[in-house]
Homo-oligomer: A and B are copies of this chain.
Amino acid sequence: MNKSPLAPEKFPDMPAVSGVRFASANSGMRYKGRDDLLFAVMDEGTTAAGVFTKNSMPGAPVDWGRKILSGGTARALVVNAGIANVFTGAAGIETVEKTAETAASLLQSNPEEVYIASTGVIGELIETSYITDTLPGMLDSLSEDNCEAAADAILTTDTFAKGATATCQLNGKTVTINGFAKGSGMIAPDMATMLAFLFTDANIPAPILQELLSSENEKSFNCVTVDSDTSTSDSVLLFATGNAKNTAPSAAADADLADFKSTLLSVMQDLAQQVARDGEGATKFITVSVTGAETDTSAKTIALAIANSPLVKTAIAGEDANWGRVIMAVGKSGEKASRDKLYLKMCGIVIAEDGARSPSYSEDQIAPLMKRPEITIEVDVGVGSGNAYAWTCDLTHGYIEINADYRS
């Protein structure tokens, strides 16, 4: 598979996050000639937060993550790519438990401090020994500098590794936030629509970390959709080692946390946008902004109706400003919108106002803009002050090619 034309030029230079080490390996489970197993080890005292898919058929690793999250601490993360361990009944639970036990015994920690994520085909069983036999040999290669290899090991149909990094100030200390993600198809809110792992050396108690992750997730990973299909495996996890030794904040609303919070959001948005940029078959990155809706929630429903419309996405693939399909998508959302006040811009060009095509609009003006790789759609639906955005990609032959024959 060729790298998406929308990919960033390169994986970012990631400074180490003190207290987090990565190793990756090929388990032999499904993929040949590439790593498919990630082992991340965190220092003692690391706090954890997580958000998981809302799909009601979650995989065994998601059930496990939800269960151990109440403990608030983490020592390890094990991720495999190739088989999702979803809809696998008792055998799937056993795989998760044995994986956690193996990692915990290697680290002399508690199995309930070992987070697990799996991505790949649904319904197939993982032969647990592929994981448990491989983990011990990975201990020696653990390193703080292996972030790109770690990001590579969790990919499935992705065409590039997705990483983001930033630093900020927290209570007088400089802290780092690193993240990487995978996701390319079966991507839709609600949550989390992909695997994303975030690591920071900040010292933040687990309940506050969870509040931050949940609120920023709404504005990042929950704004991206590729195909409206919500995965059964998706998980966003945030680990904080505390090695920056800042004074711990006492509440998520602390003014001291403002910089950390906005930096966390920027890292999460960067990763979320990279997922849309790597949408299966993507040739265009699309940003949909909706304003003037009844509420922010209503605006998001409308934004996602546009971002998920196969007709909107195929038109953009064809570099055709077929804006009537955007109107259709607003109307099918079921949300309140004024046909007679509706205002629509694409690529910065005013197309519709007051319920009809704008007198100033000409196709000649927009045609060259539709050839660009970045497309914007801005709609004001004229009924209130709710607003939201969504990121997606176009729907192309590439999506069909990838998905009509994924398992073979």
Q: Are A320 and B404 in contact (CB under 8 A)?
A: yes
A360 at the interface (CB under 8 A from B): no
Taken together, the copies of this chain in the complex come to 2
A136 at the interface (CB under 8 A from B): no
A399 and B320 in contact, given A56-B331, A332-B229 (Cβ under 8 angstroms) = no
A86, A89, A122: most-surrounded residue (chain B CB, <10 A)? A122
* Chain B residues positioned under 8 Å from A57 (CB to CB): 327-328, 330-331, 337, 339, 342
Residue of B nearest to A354 (CB): B89
Residue of B nearest to A310 (CB): B227
A87, A188, A311: most-surrounded residue (chain B CB, <10 A)? A87
A75–B285 Cα distance when bound, in Å, is 50
Residue of B nearest to A404 (CB): B318
Sort chain A's interface into a size bin.
35 or more
A229 and B325 in contact, given A87-B356, A337-B56, A406-B320 (Cβ under 8 angstroms) = yes
Besides A55-B331, A56-B337, A124-B324, 10 new A-B residue pairs in contact (Cβ under 8 A), listed by A number: A87-B327, A89-B354, A89-B355, A122-B325, A122-B327, A123-B352, A123-B357, A229-B332, A320-B405, A396-B400
Q: What 0/1 readout, one digit per residue, does chain A (22-61) give for beta carbons within 8 Å of chain B?
A: 0000000000000000000000000000000011111000
Q: Are A311 and B403 in contact (CB under 8 A)?
A: yes
A84 at the interface (CB under 8 A from B): yes
Picked from B124, B231, B324, B397, the residue with its CB within 8 Å of the CB of A86 is B324
Within A382-408, the residues touching B (CB, 8 Å) are 395-397, 399-401, 403-408
Picked from B122, B336, B406, the residue with its CB within 8 Å of the CB of A328 is B122
Residue of B nearest to A328 (CB): B232
Q: What DSSP secondary structure best describes chain A's contact surface?
A: loop
* Chain B residues positioned under 8 Å from A315 (CB to CB): 403-404, 406
A152–B124 Cα distance when bound, in Å, is 48
Q: What 0/1 readout, one digit per residue, does chain A (200-223) give for beta carbons within 8 Å of chain B?
A: 000000000000000000000000
A322 and B407 in contact, given A57-B328, A337-B57 (Cβ under 8 angstroms) = yes
A323 at the interface (CB under 8 A from B): yes
Picked from B125, B333, B357, the residue with its CB within 8 Å of the CB of A87 is B357
